[in-house]
Amino acid sequence: MLVAYLLAIFFGGLGLHRFYLGHNASAALMLVLFILGCLTTFFIIGLFMLAVVGIWVIIDLFLIPAEIVAARNRLRKRLTEDMEMGQR
């Protein structure tokens, strides 16, 4: 959980915490929004994109504990299925 929080706090705009938690599609979207926002900050739309990413990171800070539990459950389920397949 500590790693996810550190990634969110220091690299939140890049979506690294979402990559770490296994949410690759939303992490890629967050990364694209951040890059486009940085490239278009001279226009109003760039500031809007960066604001969206910033709000998204703040919301993610509250959701990280639940995401850690969900990731553990997915891993536990996958390992259980793998063990059952190995026994057959």
Instruction: Over range 60-66, report the average pLDDT.
Output: 96
Q: What ranges in 12-43 are assigned the alpha helix state H? A: 16-21, 24-39
| pLDDT given at position 85 | 87
What tokens appear for 60 in the block? 């993610």
> Distance between CA 65 and CA 71 in Å, rounded?
10
Q: Going by C-beta distance under 8 Å and a sequence separation of 6 or more, which residues neighbour residue 46?
A: 36, 37, 38, 39, 40
Q: 5-45: per-residue pLDDT in tens? A: 999 999 999 999 999 998 999 999 999 999 999 999 988 89
pLDDT for 88 beyond 70 = no
pTM of the model: 0.84
Output the CA–CA distances (angstroms, integers) from residue 84 to 74, 78, 79, in the order listed: 15, 10, 9
